[in-house]
Chain A
């Protein structure tokens, strides 16, 4: 499955949620589908997107929060899987796209390519709902279910190590940051 196609399939739901992406290909692909003020692209600080999602989810209990994460980032902050499972915010979806590589820096293989099982780790960390979704249909279904259910949802999708042709995004880091915070301030989700 291509991550870009999975994102396209769930975009109608995603565009109404508070979304945090990691840097690189995921950010660009979501941005290219149509930027929204409720989308935040974490362009550095690898591993902390899931922690940000936790901070957002516990502070905005009426909003659905989705973190679009990757294997490289999750491997840098495995403890976060345990913290998320410990506090299990009912409005948080943690979607990990696993392409078994650090694609954005040249495609170096990560440990998921040699057997590390992120879904297994999330499950054993205590997450109550961990779903594998490796096809477009499965991804659509898993995200629809995660969006409806009241509980922490973890989705892990194996995807091809393919990224966008260009990594250009016509939005500044701080522009994105202030727009995102201003948008959240206007929500009645507090």
Chain B
């Protein structure tokens, strides 16, 4: 499986440096290494979801308890989480940090991913969610730290899109 182990390691280290100690996630191909790392790390709590929107509630609860968390999901998980994002995270001003694998963008070979790819950024824009694409392993630590800083200061969701260039090796 050509999902980049090296870049997943870089991402996971950056997540931890950003103070994140709880990850809620639903498996997707690009996230397999990240989820395994979260599962193997005794300092990280991993909650495996049945559907991504649950993760919004979990992160909101964790935030109120003073804990930094993140959601790890595919862009289709973002689409299924929209009501939770709007009517809990945004309504209650919660700094929800979302790591979203950006399937269906340039280079996508799976036809079933392409509609989700087409609407991901327009949906984030419509929701008014600040987002940034992560593609260079040399800069992701800095970019994640900045996303965390913005989420915490604005008390709003912030999305980081994990691109094919970062996650896939071939």
A residues sitting closer than 8 Å to B (CB atoms) are 20, 40, 42-45, 47-60, 77, 79-80, 82-83, 86-87, 173-174, 177, 180-181, 184-185, 190
* Bound complex: CA A184 to CA B66 (Å): 8
Complex-state Cα separation, A20 to B60, whole angstroms: 12
Render B27-65 as a binary contact track against A, CB cut-off 8 A, 1 for contact: 000000000000000000101111101111111111111
B22 sits at the interface (CB 8 A): yes
B67 touches A59 (CB 8 A): yes
| Contact yes or no, A50 B57, CB < 8 A | yes
* 3 tightest Cβ-Cβ pairs between the two chains A and B: A55-B61, A51-B57, A79-B50
Are the CB atoms of B50 and A51 closer together than 8 Å?
no
**Chain B positions within 8 Å of A190 at CB level:** 65-66
| A48-B53, A58-B62, A79-B51 known; A177 vs B88 contact (CB < 8 Å) | no
For A180, the chain B residues whose CB sits under 8 A away are: 64
CB within 8 Å of A: which residues of B? 22, 45, 47-51, 53-67, 69, 83-84, 87-88, 91-93
- B24: shortest Cβ distance to chain A, in Å? 8
Q: How far is the CA of A141 from the CA of B65 in the complex (A)?
A: 28
B88–A45 touching, CB < 8 Å: yes
Known: A55-B61, A55-B62. 14 other contacts (CB 8 A): A43-B91, A45-B56, A45-B83, A45-B87, A48-B54, A51-B55, A52-B57, A52-B60, A56-B64, A77-B53, A77-B54, A83-B49, A180-B64, A181-B64
What would be 21 A-B contacts, judged by CB atoms less than 8 Å apart? A44-B87, A48-B88, A51-B54, A52-B64, A54-B58, A54-B61, A55-B58, A55-B59, A55-B63, A55-B65, A55-B69, A56-B62, A59-B65, A59-B67, A60-B65, A77-B53, A79-B49, A80-B57, A83-B48, A174-B93, A180-B64
Contact in complex: B54, A56 (CB < 8 Å): no
Residue from B54, B66, B67 whose CB has the most chain A CB atoms within 10 Å: B54
Give the distance in Å from the alpha carbon of A118 to the alpha carbon of B99 in the complex.
33
- For B63, list chain A residues within 8 Å (CB): 55, 181
Q: Chain A's nearest CB lies how many Å from the CB of B153?
A: 15
CB of B65 within 8 A of CB of A177, answer no
CA–CA, A190 and B64, complex, Å: 12
Knowing A54-B61, A59-B61, the reply to whether A181 touches B49 (Cβ < 8 A) is no
Partner among A43, A56, A83 whose Cβ is within 8 Å of the Cβ of B61: A56
Asked if B53 and A59 make an inter-chain contact with CB atoms under 8 angstroms apart, the answer reads no
In the complex, what residues of A have CB within 8 A of residue B54's CB?
Answer: 48, 51, 77, 79-80, 83
Distance between Cα atoms of A3 and B40 in the complex (Å): 43
Contact of B60 with A55 in the complex, beta carbons under 8 Å: yes
Chain A minimum-CB-distance residue to B56: A48
- Contact in complex: A59, B62 (CB < 8 Å): yes
Question: Smallest Cβ distance from A176 to chain B, in angstroms?
Answer: 9
Taken together as a complex, chains A and B put the C-alpha atoms of A113 and B67 apart, in Å, by 39
B34 CB to closest chain A CB, in angstroms? Answer: 19
Measured CA separation A93–B84 after assembly (Å) = 22
Name the distance in Å between A175's Cβ and chain B's nearest Cβ.
11
Tell me the complex Cα distance, A56–B64, Å: 7
